Structure 1
Amino acid sequence: MIDDPIELKIESQPVESDQQEGYLRPEVLLEAPKANSANFERMLVKLEREIGYTFRNSDLLRRALTHRSFANEQPDPRPMHNEALEFLGDAVLEFLISAWLLELFPTQNEGTLSKMRAYAVSALNLQKHASRLSIGNYLLINRGEEKTGGRTKTALQVDAYEALIAAIYLDGGIDCARDFVMREFVTTFAEVDPEDLTSMDYKTALQEKLQSDGLPTPQYAIVESLGPDHRRVFQIELRVSGYCLATGEGTTIKGAHQAAARAALLNLNQNMTRLKEIHETAQSRNDAAPAEDRPEAVTIEDGTLPDEPA
Structure 2
Amino acid sequence: MAVDLGVLEAAIGHVFRDRELFQRALTHKSRMHERPGEVPAAGDNEQLEFLGDAILGFVVSECLVRRFASAPEGRLSKLKAHLVSAARLYEVAQSLSLGDFLFLGRGEEMSGGRAKKALLADAMEALIAAMYLDDGIDIARTFIETHVVGAFAMADASVDGTVADYKSALQEMAQALRLPPPRYFIIAEEGPEHSKTFTVEVRVGKEWTGQAQGLSKKAAGQKAAEGVLQQLTEWGR
Please give the range of the TM-score, normalised by the shorter of the 2 chains.
0.5 to 0.7
What is the Cα-based RMSD across aligned positions, in Å?
A: 2.6
Contact 2:78 2:176 in 1 (8 A): no
The residue number in structure 2 matching 1:52 is 13
- Structure 1 80/104 Cα, relative in aligned 2: closer, same or farther at 3 Å? same
Contact 2:50 2:126 in 1 (8 A): yes
Partner Cα separation in structure 2 for residue 46 and residue 76 of structure 1: 21
- Structure 1 198/154 Cα, relative in aligned 2: closer, same or farther at 3 Å? closer
2:86 aligned with 1:123, yes or no? yes
Q: Give 1:153's match in structure 2, choosing from 101, 116, 120.
A: 116
Partner Cα separation in structure 1 for residue 135 and residue 43 of structure 2: 20
1:248-285 per-residue CA deviation (whole Å, 9 max, x = no partner) reads xxxxxxxxxxxxxxxxxxxxxxxxxxxxxxxxxxxxxx
1:36-78 per-residue CA deviation (whole Å, 9 max, x = no partner) reads 3xx24xx211211111110111111100000000012214997
Report how many aligned residue pairs link the two structures: 165
- Structure 1 199/45 Cα, relative in aligned 2: closer, same or farther at 3 Å? closer
Greater helix proportion: 2
Report 1:96-107 matches (<5 A).
96-107=59-70
The residue number in structure 2 matching 1:68 is 29
Q: Which runs of 5+ in 2 are unaligned?
A: 156-165, 182-237
Per the alignment, in what secondary structure is the counterpart of residue 61 of structure 2?
Answer: helix
How much has 1:201 moved relative to structure 2? 5.0
- Structure 1 201/103 Cα, relative in aligned 2: closer, same or farther at 3 Å? closer
Partner Cα separation in structure 1 for residue 174 and residue 16 of structure 2: 41
Percentage of matched positions with identical amino acids: 45
TM-score w.r.t. the length of structure 2 is 0.64
Structure 1 counterpart of 2:44, one-letter code: H
Partner Cα separation in structure 1 for residue 107 and residue 87 of structure 2: 25
Partner Cα separation in structure 1 for residue 177 and residue 57 of structure 2: 20
Partner Cα separation in structure 2 for residue 46 and residue 198 of structure 1: 33
The residue number in structure 1 matching 2:43 is 80
1:8-63 per-residue CA deviation (whole Å, 9 max, x = no partner) reads xxxxxxxxxxxxxxxxxxxxxxxxxxxx3xx24xx211211111110111111100
TM-score w.r.t. the length of structure 1 is 0.49
The residue number in structure 1 matching 2:158 is none
Contact 1:120 1:188 in 2 (8 A): no
Per the alignment, in what secondary structure is the counterpart of residue 150 of structure 2?
Answer: coil
